Amino acid sequence: MPYVDRQNRICGFLDIEENENSGKFLRRYFILDTKEGSLVWYMDNPQNLPKGAEHVGSFKLSYISKVSDATKLRPKAEFCFVINAGMRKFYLQANDQQDLVEWVNVLNNATKITVPKSGDGQPSAEMPQEVLGSMKQISYKTEIIGGVPIITATQEQGDGGQNGADRGGLRKAHSQLPYFLGRGVQDQALIKAGYCVKQGALMKNWKRRYFLLEENAVSYFKSDLEREPLRVIPLKEVHKVQECKQSDLMQRDNLFEVVTSSRTFYIQSDSPEEMHSWIKAISGAIVAQRGPGRSAASRVKFDSEILTFPK
């Protein structure tokens, strides 16, 4: 779902058909900046890219004439909507129907806000209340399409790796199992799976990892194609799962922490909804594992999104 970041911009992941009529959708991170009057998209959340990484594409909001549902125009592309910018149409795919509706609304509202009427002063950058809710680029080109300047990358996007993921890549990884888990009966029941960004233990750098939550452990992999996890965290070692209190200090949105006796894992989700979903899923798995038949000293304390588990 689109969310408001610390700079009051609307952000989130979408899939976009960058080459018109190609039928190939690529996963991108979008930033709708009403103060700058622009829609910009990157290979990933800029927080997870090398410092100074350039955007993949962008255009001014003033060029947008209409944003609408395009499921009838593209019946094979689910949750599809279209941005009309001059003579060019940009087709994008949302993650679900609610995501589609919210993006269409925020884009249409942003267009109304950023296009001033004759004689008006500076347009307001404040969004209405209802709106809230690793390839390195080398060069770019500017094309005049239907009188609209469109800035796009000239480098060919690779098919390998998650940053070049097409429609079968990152977005589906949120709801589908890795290929090796879907082939046979597993020893543990899979509860939740998807990509998040995790801080490293030593270098303190941030890398996108594929997480799997099972009934007894949460594991993370380099990607959803890997067989062996980089690490397995037994749920019996987890003492606390909560929204991170240091998110302001770390300058990270949608950040939560998994606290164990040996380490605190800092994990960033792609949206506030995903963050709360992971917190509730991990907490629920821990409660299910430890069971209700414990003494009063081992009861679980619920405090908003903070769940503390006795050692």
Q: Where on the phi/psi map is residue 295: left (φ > 0), alpha (ψ -120 to 50), or beta? A: beta
- Contacts for 46 with CB less than 8 Å, ≥ 6 apart: 29, 31, 53
Angle, vertex CA 25, rays to CA 149 and CA 35, nearest 5: 45
Residue 111 has a pLDDT of 82
> What SS3 class is residue 148?
strand
Residue 176 has a pLDDT of 47
Residue 298 has a pLDDT of 41
- Compute the distance between CA of residue 106 and CA of residue 111 in angstroms, rounded to an integer: 8
Distances from the Cα of 243 to the Cαs of 23, 89, 280, 304, in angstroms? 39, 39, 11, 10
Tens-level pLDDT at each residue, the chain (311 residues): 899 988 889 999 999 998 888 889 999 999 999 888 999 999 999 988 888 889 999 988 888 888 999 988 888 888 999 999 877 899 999 999 999 999 999 998 888 743 344 444 444 444 444 444 433 444 555 555 555 555 555 544 444 444 444 444 444 444 445 544 543 435 568 899 999 999 888 878 888 999 999 999 999 999 999 989 999 999 999 999 999 877 666 778 889 999 998 999 999 998 899 999 999 999 999 998 877 644 333 434 444 444 555 55
Residue 92 has a pLDDT of 94
DSSP code, position 201: S
- Give me the half-sphere count of Cα atoms (radius 13 Å) on the Cβ side of residue 125: 12
Residue 195 has a pLDDT of 92
- Compute the distance between CA of residue 155 and CA of residue 151 in angstroms, rounded to an integer: 12
Q: For the whole model, what pTM was predicted?
A: 0.58
